[in-house]
Structure 1
Amino acid sequence: MKFRDVLGKKEVWPPPIWLMRQAGRYLPEYRATRAKAGDFISLCLNPVLAEEVTLQPIHKFGFDAAILFSDILILPMALGQGLRFAEGEGPRMPPLEDIGTLKPEQAAGVYAPVMETVSRLRGSLPQETALIGFAGGPATVACYMLDGQGGGFPRTRRLAYEQPDFVRQVLKVLTEATIEYLSAQVKAGADCVMLFESWAGIFPPAQFREFVISPNRRICEILKERHKGLKIIGFPRLAGLMLGEYAREAGVDAVGLDSVTGLPEARAACTAGTVFQGNLDPLLLKLGGRAMDEAVKRMLDEVRGHPHILNLGHGITPDVPEAHVARLVELVRQSG
């Protein structure tokens, strides 16, 4: 499995490719399945339909990895925090006021359908196709729990200064719950797991170390103790100058790069031999044509000779034409 080989620091050519949010609204098949489910949360918790949408881009484009179809906020929902998705507005949660309202003991029962999806997928995917399990990083999930929605997270940032002990309590609960959640995914059949710290970049260095790196490190340490040989991808989006420290200290085996972090700069900041994933600008996938072709060829030139996983610097957007995705895969495959 060349995807796993790269996570083991082996240079593979052409590099393996998958896309964040590769199962999503740009595919008419996905839109039809979601309509069948009724709403987004119901789709995430329906193992048959979640399996279906996870497999759709694999069947269509032949990606080297499938990522479990779910959402990072399924875990706080399982802990007892309300969750709904407003059409065109994103997730909404009642802002967390009291840590005592969270019920970690009930979480496994709520997210049990997700584990069934993982198990079904491992049975239906080709052996050479990696299955990626995932969770939101504790800092990122805490942002949504404390603010109740996306959009800069002003309450979270204020609480980090005014009530740091409360934020630490939330992160402690989330860290332990994330360990159990990802461990269950591995037991169900995930080949590797990914931590999405999508909002790592809102924290200044001292808070980044405490709220992002430290919880990620504990998650990686415990998971690797439980599951020998497990590989973990971390995605500290917009980490900026903290990228090197994250790569060295968080315990991950590969680092996802956002679109504003260049590969040469990432290599300069990180230990030699660090495995990277990313970092094509999602806008290029929408535009296609010469702009995309040239960017992909530049990226391939930059990653040749290094262990690398081709991906975007953020999730694929709903307005991307399928033909552009097919062209991207073709460019990567033909580079060999």
Structure 2
Amino acid sequence: MTDKRLLRVLRGEAVWPPPVWLMRQAGRYLPEFRALRSQADFITRCMTPDIAVEITLQPIRRFAMDGAILFSDILILPWAMGQGLKFVEGVGPVLEPIRTREDLDRLQPERVAEVTAPIMQTLRRLRQALDAPGDETVLGRGSAGATTLIGFAGSPFTVACYMVEGGSSREFLEPRQMAYADPALFDRLIDMLTQATATMLCAQIDAGAEAVMLFDSWAGLLPPGQFRRYVIEPSRQIVREIRSRHPSVPIIGFPRLGGLLVGEYAAATGINALALDTSADMMAAAALVPDGVALQGNLDPLCLVTGGDGMGHQIDVIRDAMRGRPHVFNLGHGVLPQTPPEHVAALVERVRRT
């Protein structure tokens, strides 16, 4: 639907006031989400359409966001390929680490379509709900027919970080060392993930996603040469594959902490929109990216936690700086669990002021 404000911006149109959605907008800061957590573990929540649909729609009902991002996780892909994965409270994801050729040989990317079939069912149901006219009991006033459904995946480098490390880390020393010590093995993993990610995102689009986003949360760990090799090049290949099958579907790229390389990333990959982290200067980034590339971001999530006049001022600074160019208002990273829901409501109201 070309009248959806988020889609208009992602296709290069300057819209005022800008559309707004938030990374991790469905999550632990919402009491209705916490009420569902006791029903199933995290992977089951992702893989059960009834639950995943409900969680995805919760912030749409509350805040009438312009974007609804699928409730899932970037590590569903390696799990679907056969890598052991569990989420431990207070620890995060724990995976059976990929360190050798034998470990890599055990992965089965051909399983992904079958294993992720419930996620595609979730997307089909979400698209039906989001486009249903006038059903305020499902979505809340003003949301039906106006909210864009966003699919997503982790970019190959970031997913590889977790797969090789065996969990979360601040430095991800194991994958970074593998890239130096055994580049052939690391390249093979990146290639496998590149192909599987492109295929999965195309399947998400087939199931109803109107835009897709690539999350490269750990791109900023790499020096420029490796950034080009492991962040830009795989993303370029993924975008090319999606374009060959779905030429009109917008793609958002998020090379977090990419610094001065974000302009090269935007130009080389061919993305429609560049999501910027909190550290990025929006005006400087605007000068780096090709004409017509939308920018997304980039309020500090901690500012959202704090709220008040300070948050309102920062919202205005970002909004006013981007006026006249395609811009999606968002955070520079995900919503923090301690965020008061009323601050999110205040943010949406402030962004939408004319």
TM over 0.5: yes
Q: 2:332 aligns with which of 310, 313, 324?
A: 313
User: Which 10-residue stretch deviates more, 308-317 or 104-113?
Assistant: 104-113
CA distance in 1, matches of 2:282, 2:56: 29
Q: Tell me by how many angstroms 1:270 deviates.
A: 2.0
Q: Counterpart of 1:122 in 2: which secondary structure? A: helix
CA distance in 1, matches of 2:80, 2:172: 22
CA distance in 1, matches of 2:319, 2:245: 36
2:283–2:322: 8 Å Cα contact kept in structure 1?
no
Q: Tell me by how many angstroms 1:290 deviates.
A: 1.5
Q: 1:61 aligns with which of 42, 47, 63?
A: 63
CA distance in 1, matches of 2:342, 2:111: 44
Q: Tell me by how many angstroms 1:180 deviates.
A: 1.1
In the alignment, what sits opposite 2:136? Answer: none
2:6–2:19: 8 Å Cα contact kept in structure 1?
yes
Could you tell me which amino acid in structure 2 is paired with residue 27 of structure 1? L
Structure 1 residue ranges (4+ consecutive) displaced by more than 6 angstroms after TM superposition: none
Aligned ranges 1:1-336 → 2 under 5 Å: 1-36=4-39, 38-97=40-99, 98-125=103-130, 126-151=144-169, 152-334=171-353, 336=354
CA distance in 1, matches of 2:220, 2:197: 20
Could you tell me which amino acid in structure 1 is paired with residue 20 of structure 2? I
Deviation digits for residues 129-175 of structure 1, max 9, x if unmatched?
A: 10000000000000000101111100011111111111100011101
CA distance in 1, matches of 2:5, 2:341: 25
Deviation digits for residues 81-105 of structure 1, max 9, x if unmatched?
A: 0110010111110111321011011
TM-score (norm 2): 0.93
Percent identity over the alignment? Answer: 52
CA distance in 2, matches of 1:249, 1:239: 14
Q: Counterpart of 2:254 in 1: which secondary structure? A: strand
CA distance in 2, matches of 1:252, 1:115: 23
Q: Counterpart of 1:18 in 2: which secondary structure? A: coil
Q: Counterpart of 2:352 in 1: which secondary structure? A: helix
Could you tell me which amino acid in structure 1 is paired with residue 125 of structure 2? R
CA distance in 1, matches of 2:195, 2:204: 15
Q: Counterpart of 1:238 in 2: which secondary structure? A: coil
CA distance in 1, matches of 2:66, 2:112: 31
Could you tell me which amino acid in structure 1 is paired with residue 239 of structure 2? C
Q: Counterpart of 1:133 in 2: which secondary structure? A: strand
2:271–2:293: 8 Å Cα contact kept in structure 1?
no
CA distance in 2, matches of 1:247, 1:224: 15
CA distance in 1, matches of 2:153, 2:292: 25
Structure 2 spans left out of the alignment, 5+ residues: 131-143
Q: Tell me by how many angstroms 1:274 deviates.
A: 2.5
Alignment RMSD, CA only? Answer: 0.8
Deviation digits for residues 182-224 of structure 1, max 9, x if unmatched?
A: 1110000000100001111111111111101111001000111
Q: Tell me by how many angstroms 1:127 deviates.
A: 2.3
CA distance in 2, matches of 1:114, 1:245: 33
Structure 1 spans left out of the alignment, 5+ residues: none
Deviation digits for residues 267-300 of structure 1, max 9, x if unmatched?
A: 2222233310000000000000111011011111
Q: Tell me by how many angstroms 1:128 deviates.
A: 1.7
Q: Counterpart of 1:309 in 2: which secondary structure? A: strand
